[in-house]
Amino acid sequence: MKSSLKWPILGVVVAIAITTAMDASGLSVFSALPLFPLAGLFWYLEKLSRRSVGFVWGHWSDYGMAALYPVAILGVIGLVSAASGAVDVSHTNWEKAWLNLALVTVSTFLAAIITEEGFFRGWLFASLERAGESPGRTLAWSSIAFSLWHLSAVTLATGFDLPVGQIPVYMVNAAILGAIWGLLRLLSGSVIVASLNHGVWNGGAYVFFGFGAKIGALGIKDTAIYGPEVGILGLALNLIFAVALWRWWKARASIAT
């Protein structure tokens, strides 16, 4: 093991341990908050630069891509679900749904900058790069760590917990989503861009499709097929987009060199 990998390994292990303990203690609503001081602590200990950690604005076009992806993917899933007869909006309060969409999107965007994105696509990205890992390996390891960090949320009684059969799909999807947000970080150099994508995704996915045992505004019950995070359709579309984004990044990187 590279000695320089001690910091990313230690940071991820501590983050997972703290979050798991909080999820097990009924504090899952606040379980992402410790990522903020942890990222700051390890950032300070490794003396990383602000740019290397991704706390830069990026280009305006990067934000367009960040917003377009979740709207497109969730829109396709919604249309397929409707065409299949899986949608039931007979009891949907659309005014409340749109308000919740705005609230979840904005709150996730702001919180993710200093928690999930700031930790996994910010400090961890920079720490792995400092350790000499290639962009591809950095992307892979940070995405796996991001997925493992979510394990306690979907296996313990947190309100986000899932049926056992949906957990494997969710864990793979979490890694793919982490890779997509990581690729946006690579393309833009900014965790703020990745956080916007994260916010729009969470807003649309949780409000319209639901989470855990909660049914979303679209009234879709067969989430094992149509769920953006726990369904086969969401997994397939996210994987396709991740591969396309990877190829785009590789093409841009080859031109730059």
3-state percent helix, strand, coil for the chain, nearest multiple of 5: 75, 0, 25
192-219 pLDDT per residue, tens: 999 999 999 999 999 999 998 899 999 9
Average pLDDT over the chain, rounded to whole? 96
In this prediction, residues 153-167 reach a mean pLDDT of: 95
Which pLDDT does position 257 carry in this prediction?
A: 67
Confidence of residue 120 (pLDDT cuts 50, 70, 90): very high
Residue 144 CA to residue 6 CA, distance in Å, equals 17
Which pLDDT does position 4 carry in this prediction?
A: 84
Which pLDDT does position 163 carry in this prediction?
A: 93
The DSSP 8-state label assigned to residue 228 in this structure reads T
Q: Are 131 and 8 in contact (CB under 8 A)?
A: yes
Q: Is 129 exposed, middle or buried (0-12, 13-18, 19+ CB in 10 A)?
A: middle
Closest CA to 102 of 12, 199, 179, 25: 199
Domain boundaries, given as residue ranges, for the chain: 3-256
In this prediction, residues 118-124 reach a mean pLDDT of: 98
Which pLDDT does position 2 carry in this prediction?
A: 54
Confidence of residue 3 (pLDDT cuts 50, 70, 90): low
Q: What is the dihedral of CA 52, 57, 63, 69, to 10 degrees?
A: 20
Closest CA to 208 of 109, 82, 63, 116: 82
91-104 pLDDT per residue, tens: 999 999 999 999 99
* 161 pLDDT higher than 70: yes
